[in-house]
Amino acid sequence: MSEVVELTKELIKKKSITPSDEGCQDLVAARLEKAGFHIEHLPFGEVSNLWATYGKGEKTLALLGHTDVVPTGPIEKWTNDPFEPTENNGLLFGRGAADMKGSVAAFVVAAEEFCKKNPNPNGRLCIMLTSDEEGPAKDGVRKVIKHLTNQGEKIDWCLVGEPTAEKQLGDVIKIGRRGSINGVINVRGIQGHAAYPHNAENPIHTSSAAINEIVALKWPDETGEFPDSILQISNINSGTGAHNVIPGDLSLKLNVRYSPTISSQTVIDAVEEILKRHKLTFTNEWEDSGSPFLTRSTTLIDSVTEAISTVTGVNQVEQSTAGGTSDGRFIAPTGSEVVELGPLNASIHKIDEAVSLEELNKLTKIYVKVINKLLS
């Protein structure tokens, strides 16, 4: 069994459902410290964070990952226990196998190999881990990078281990992400008896036309570098549960993934304009969970694509900005080049999540080549 597979299995066994770490970072820290890294634990609230550094020099490469995983869903639907790693047909099954304990293990094994051969590297290699990527992402990298910036730290290149591949390892990397804004809208009505609607005001009825307009909101990306900004309603709640009671309020939750063509305020203004035009009585709350970013400098991109080509033979690497958010959104505003590269994403967050054993080993080799290219 290869080192990266063995370590991935050890990490999967730890039931680190967000925001819990369950000792994953202690396991990683012990190995990195033995390899020569300086270890700093940075807990915030219930969240565990790790910052490990090796070497000295002007340039810094950070490997960014998370040790938390999403809940398993119904365990009885899994073929095997999601926290008992199982091999079958060249795949390693378990919650977090692809997202992203496999990448974390590959980071560690790649770093160990680099340290053995480079006692005095031409720059610093750092590993940043959090247990708050799958959750609210408030006490993880968001706070860690603020702390590090206050300490005078600067990250030049950040390689994120999120699962990016679609058909084979290395076919897609992420060089940017859309921003994300969440909204909660509460529409007020007047509760009453269903037989006497003239004495009540049904917020479901009064807001339906406005909701249809909100659903239709779309902002085309003018740069050609991002998917269009789209709005999705994720929750609507209203009513007491009784058939004969007109509800007194309606709550609506929505999310918008937006490109740099617009801002979060653009979204807020558009939604509020619709609600006001329909003369609804409402309150709203908004949270911008991350701004869009795009890596334009090519040093890290070139290093990653070159390593992919050498290890996998994939020469046409798609440089994508599609998909959800990642913790890279907190690093990019500091001026760092950010690229995401990890295993196949087809099974992430699903029942029977899995990662290819062969691709885990190849991923480790890719990471080694990127580190060597930038720091040797």
133 is catalytic: yes
pLDDT for 318 beyond 90: yes
Catalytic residue among 21, 99, 132, 133: 133
pLDDT of residue 312: 98
Residue-wise pLDDT for 71-99, tens only, equals 999 999 999 999 999 999 999 999 999 99
Confidence of residue 290 (pLDDT cuts 50, 70, 90): confident
Distance CA 86, CA 72 (A): 15
For the four alpha carbons of 373, 150, 291 and 297, in that order, the dihedral sign comes to negative
Nearest to 41 by CA among 30, 54, 25: 25
Q: Is 249 in contact with 188 (CB distance < 8 Å)? A: yes
CA pair distance 220, 230, nearest whole angstrom: 9
Domain boundaries, the chain: 3-177+292-375, 179-290
Indicate which residue of 21, 22, 68, 99 is catalytic: 68
How far is 227 from 258, CA to CA, in rounded Å? 8
Q: Alpha carbon 340 to chain centroid distance?
A: 10
Dist. CA 251–CA 204, nearest whole Å:
10
Q: Which amino acid is at 349?
A: H
Active site annotation includes 302: no
Helix residue spans in the chain (DSSP H): 3-12, 24-35, 102-117, 141-150, 203-215, 264-277, 299-312, 328-331, 357-375
Give 335's DSSP letter: T
Topology (CATH) of 179-290 = Alpha-Beta Plaits (3.30.70)
How far is residue 237 from each of residues 186, 256, 347, measured CA to CA in Å? Answer: 10, 19, 30
Mean pLDDT along residues 112-127 = 96
**Mean pLDDT within 8-35:** 98
CATH architecture of 3-177+292-375: 3-Layer(aba) Sandwich (3.40)
pLDDT in tens, 120-149: 999 999 999 999 999 999 999 999 999 999
Q: How confident is the model at residue 6 (pLDDT cuts 50, 70, 90)?
A: very high
Q: What is the mean pLDDT of residues 167-195?
A: 97
- Of residues 275 and 323, more confidence is placed in 275
Distance between CA atoms of residues 74 and 77, nearest Å? 6
